[in-house]
Amino acid sequence: MRQMVAYGCKVFGLGSGLGRVGDTRRAPRTSAALVAAAVFYTGLLRIRSFNALEPRLGEKPFLRLVGAAPERRRLCSVDTVGRALCRMDLVSVRAILVGMLHKAERNKVFREGWHGALRHVAIDGWEPFCSRHRHCPECLVRRVKIKAKDGKTMGVELEYYHRYAVALLIDERFDLVVDIEPVLPKDLRPLVVKGKGPTARLVKVSLDEGELTAGTRLIRRVKQTFGWIDVVVGDALYANGPFLNTLDSLGLGAVIIARRDNDEPLREALHLWAGQAPHKVVEDEKAHEHIALWDCRDLDTLTSYQGKIRCVRGCISKLKRPQDAPSTWCMFVTGKATRLSPEKVLAVARARWHIENTAFHQWTTRWRLGHVFRHHPVALRSLFWLFLAAFDLLTLFQYLQLRSYGRDCGKNVTRTISRLVDEMLDELACWHNLAWDTS
């Protein structure tokens, strides 16, 4: 624990990042920086709720960890933590994670890039929780059918939920969260211009936003913040002309999953490939896979996109299970990503599952991100930013500092991290008589 906090502070300026967090409360007794530190360590130590946090706010080791003054007997109540979260300045909270990634880049953590020496960011939608009862102004609403035990529909109820577009840096060794952006309900969407010339006017949009709109906003900010990112990897939702045009204008390449055979330019590619033998065959000894690849460059049948699209298809058969039908993947490739070989395109597309398997699954099962600590638009985002900064720091620490620890604990990464958190909690319990400086 001490090693990790020291690593976070020394290498990534964790202490000063938390110290710069501000909020809009007037003359608070517990500063926003201390509250932010308490929430950051709640995430890191996987404390499951604010109720479980309550006793810790009066325990010496925890006070020492968050950097409270030595004479302080108690940090504050969990109500104060919740209230402060609702008033937190989002820019200063997000800056902790942004600063960490910039520093990692400067320290050449992503030095070799990955496939094709490019930095790949996967993008996807994430729904941490839903509720039939509680809601806030940033909740999205849907109608769900209520079913009786016999399967008959009993009626319709409103369900409230939050959804975020998430960008994750995917790499061979580890994945780091880069940014998140909420999908906004209709009331909070910006006004749009309707009509032209003198009749033009600003009007309200009558529908909740879709993930694609939030995802586009997210990717613009990601590129603005992290100029060194090269390629966006997305699912079929992002396989459309306007999104690919946006990526072009930002200088980003794309590897996007294509699903619908009838949509251009996949239709054209399938037509050209019909009856053709694979253009390339790869035997992957390590993964026990036989991969057949088809490749087609410079397709221009998607009229809503200005550039040319490359299509790649990969059919994967498992060498150990020859009786199974092969799984087929089709991808659209644009911009910088077109320099990848077809097998690398397939590898990048398959790595997109990291975002669902390692990230989203781990966040809800281990990181308690599905638990609503405080249902309020700003509180939710502040808490996510802090928890995700903890997620990134723990990932960097585990892979860059504790390489042998991972090996000793076996191959299950999620379990290794849980073990590590348990050990940190044990160590924290021994801090009662320890004089230690977190600055």
* DSSP category for residue 333: E
Gap between the Cα atoms of 355 and 235, Å rounded: 11
State the minimum distance, in angstroms, from the CB of residue 319 to Zn ion. 48
Instruction: Tell me the C-alpha to C-alpha distance, in Å, between residue 336 and each of 92, 116, 310, 381.
Output: 33, 9, 11, 32
Position 86 contacts Zn ion (CB under 5 A):
no
- Residue 84 as a binder of Zn ion (CB under 5 A): the answer is no
User: Among the candidate windows 133-141, 145-153, 221-229, 366-374, which touches Zn ion by CB under 5 A?
Assistant: 133-141
Q: Work out how close the CB of 375 gets to Zn ion at its nearest, in angstroms, rounded to a whole number.
A: 5
Identify the H or E element spanning 63. helix 60-66
Of 56 and 374, nearer to Zn ion (C-beta) is 374
Residue 136 binding Zn ion, by CB under 5 A: yes
Q: 286 forms bridges with which residues in the sheet?
A: none
Looking at 39-47, 129-137, 358-366, 411-419, which segment touches Zn ion (CB under 5 A)?
Answer: 129-137
Report, in Å, the least distance between residue 179 CB and Zn ion: 20
Nearest approach, Cβ of residue 370 and Zn ion (Å): 14
State which residue, 126 or 431, has the beta carbon closest to Zn ion.
Answer: 126
Region of 88 on the Ramachandran plot (φ > 0 left; ψ -120 to 50 alpha; else beta)? beta
CB of 161 to Zn ion, least distance (A): 8
Residue closer to Zn ion by CB (options 291, 378) is: 378
| d(C-alpha 305, C-alpha 28), whole Å | 53
Contact 330, 266 (CB under 8 A): yes
The amino acid at 238: Y
CA nearest 94: which of 373, 387, 369?
387
Nearer to Zn ion, 354 or 375 (CB): 375
* Residue 185: CB minimum distance to Zn ion, A: 9
- Measured from the CB atom, the residue of 139 and 293 that comes closer to Zn ion is 139
Which CB, 96 or 380, lies closer to Zn ion? 380
In whole angstroms, the minimum distance from the beta carbon of 134 to Zn ion comes to 7
Give 391's contacts (C-beta < 8 A, 6+ positions apart).
43, 177, 363, 367
- Residue 139 makes contact with Zn ion by CB under 5 A: yes
Does position 85 interact with Zn ion (CB under 5 A)? The reply is no
The nearest distance, CB 135 to Zn ion, in angstroms, is: 5
* Sign of the dihedral through C-alpha 71, 81, 363, 218: negative
Which alpha helices (H) appear in 179-238, and where do they start and end?
Answer: 211-225
DSSP string, 244-275: HHHHHHTT-EEEEE---TTSTTHHHHHHHHTT
Size of the site for Zn ion (CB under 5 A): 2
Residues 282-301 that bind Zn ion (CB under 5 A): none
Nearest partner of 336 among 214, 222, 244, judged by Cα: 244
Q: Which stretch binds Zn ion (CB under 5 A): 119-127, 136-144, 291-299, 312-320?
A: 136-144
The pattern of x and - marking residues 397 through 416 that bind Zn ion according to CB under 5 A reads: --------------------
Closer residue to Zn ion, CB minimum distance, 22 or 377: 377
Burial 284-321 (b: 16+ CB within 10 A, else e): eeeeebbbbbbbbeebeebeebeeebbbbbbbbbeeee
Interacting residue ranges for Zn ion, rule: CB under 5 A: 136, 139
